């Protein structure tokens, strides 16, 4: 057990999975000698060599398309897309092939691969480096979409994703990479890709979020507690396929839900959650489902980013609206 940040935890998971399974290979832009632009694969090139930690040409569709072929022929590639904003050239490969190969071949050929990509705002980066477009992938049957929120979670979820028989989009909150450290175990530590994490129990309201939104959610919950509101917090972990039982049972118990989503409002995952709650437990709801999201605008450059980024104060207001309905 040692104290580490999320970058170190991901590095540890990659290292241990590569040591355990010869079929695991890493590939992407600058992942080798340079250790990745966020240093996530630091040291692995030296340890496993250029044959397993592969610096590729600068071509996202190529990286993902080649990874699909590797997976079809027995390897377990872990491909890095340098930023989620650069994943779109590979969108066709992900949606048209990675997600469908199992079904198309009736289970004869499968694509056990992981696509890692840092995502999200709040780090004052260049254009295209800050989006959170997970919903595009959640709408694609055949993919799993996983977003860790802490170093410990990142380790257990990534190890599970690498061992998973289906393609996993593993989105790492860039803002949380070095935000805090926690104890992370060395050796086998796996988390299920099918269960939400109960961060904190509460009885008045369920706060639902994932990835980089968790710190703001926790802060809002602490503030609400001071006003006498007991908040339950759910970290979704796996956005697709989602643990609907975990989400619905919590909101059924508390009667109120505030969903926090970094992405723009329309057609985001929060919309699906709100719709499911109304389908399943309308009569248990004591207030309309609240959503705290970015507006439906192009993500501003750093000088304007604070208008966009969901903060704890906005979540606190949503909690108040839900409680005073």
Tell me which residues are annotated as active site: 129
Pairing between strand 205-209 and 231-235? Answer: parallel
Q: For residue 317, give the H/E element and its range.
A: helix 312-323
Which residue stretch of 64-72, 173-181, 215-223, 291-299 sits at the interface with another protein (rule: CB under 8 A)?
A: 64-72
Give yes or no for a cis peptide into 241 (omega within 30° of 0): yes
Quick check: helix, strand or coil at residue 2? strand
When asked if residue 18 is in the footprint of another protein (CB under 8 A), the reply is no
Among 56, 176, 218, 254, binds another protein (CB under 8 A): 56
Among 8, 11, 67, 250, binds another protein (CB under 8 A): 67
Residue 59 beta carbon to another protein: minimum distance, rounded to whole angstroms: 4
Under rule CB under 8 A, which residues in 76-135 are in contact with another protein?
77, 89, 92-93, 96-97, 101-110
When asked if residue 278 is in the footprint of another protein (CB under 8 A), the reply is no
When asked if residue 28 is in the footprint of another protein (CB under 8 A), the reply is no
CA-to-CA separations, 129 to 126, 233, 292, 299, in angstroms, rounded? 6, 28, 22, 10
Give the 3-state DSSP-derived string for 121-151, with helices as H, strands as E and coil as C.
CCCCCCCCCCCCCHHHHHCCCCCEEECCCCH
- CB proximity list for 113: less than 8 A, separation 6 or greater: 67, 68, 70, 71, 76, 77, 78, 79, 98, 167, 168
Site string for another protein, 220-259 (x = CB under 8 A): ---------------------xxxxx--------------
Among 19, 33, 59, 298, binds another protein (CB under 8 A): 59
Contact residues: another protein, CB under 8 A:
25, 51, 54, 56-57, 59, 61-62, 64-75, 77, 89, 92-93, 96-97, 101-110, 141-142, 144, 164-166, 194, 241-245
């Amino acid at each position: 057990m040692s104290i580490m940040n999320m970058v170190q935890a991901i590095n540890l998971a990659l290292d241990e999975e590569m040591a355990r399974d010869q079929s695991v290979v890493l590939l992407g832009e600058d992942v080798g000698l340079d250790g990745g632009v966020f240093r996530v694969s630091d040291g692995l090139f030296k340890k496993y060599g250029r044959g397993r930690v592969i610096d590729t040409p600068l071509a996202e569709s190529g990286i993902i398309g080649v990874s699909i072929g590797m997976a079809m022929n027995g390897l377990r590639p872990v491909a890095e897309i340098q930023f989620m904003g650069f994943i779109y050239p590979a969108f066709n490969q992900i949606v048209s092939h990675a997600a469908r190969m199992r079904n198309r071949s009736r289970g004869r050929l499968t694509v056990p691969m992981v696509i890692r990509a840092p995502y999200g705002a709040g780090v004052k980066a260049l254009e295209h480096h800050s989006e959170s477009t997970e919903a595009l992938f959640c709408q694609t049957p055949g993919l799993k979409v996983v977003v860790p929120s802490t170093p410990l979670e990142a380790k257990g979820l990534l190890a599970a994703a690498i061992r998973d028989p289906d393609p996993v989009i593993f989105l790492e909150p860039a803002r949380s990479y070095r935000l805090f450290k926690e104890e992370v175990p060395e050796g086998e530590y796996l988390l299920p890709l099918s269960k939400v994490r109960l961060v904190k129990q509460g009885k008045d309201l369920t706060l639902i979020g994932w990835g980089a939104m968790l710190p703001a959610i926790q802060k809002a919950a602490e503030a609400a507690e001071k006003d006498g509101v007991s908040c339950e917090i759910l970290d979704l972990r796996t956005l697709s396929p989602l643990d609907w039982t975990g989400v619905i049972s919590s909101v059924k118990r508390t009667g109120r839900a505030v969903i926090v989503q970094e992405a723009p409002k329309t057609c985001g995952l929060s919309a699906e959650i709100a719709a499911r709650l109304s389908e399943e437990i309308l009569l248990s709801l004591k207030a309309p489902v609240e959503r705290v999201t970015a507006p439906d605008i192009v993500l501003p450059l750093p000088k304007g980013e604070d208008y966009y980024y969901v903060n704890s104060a906005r979540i606190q207001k949503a909690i108040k609206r839900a409680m005073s309905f």
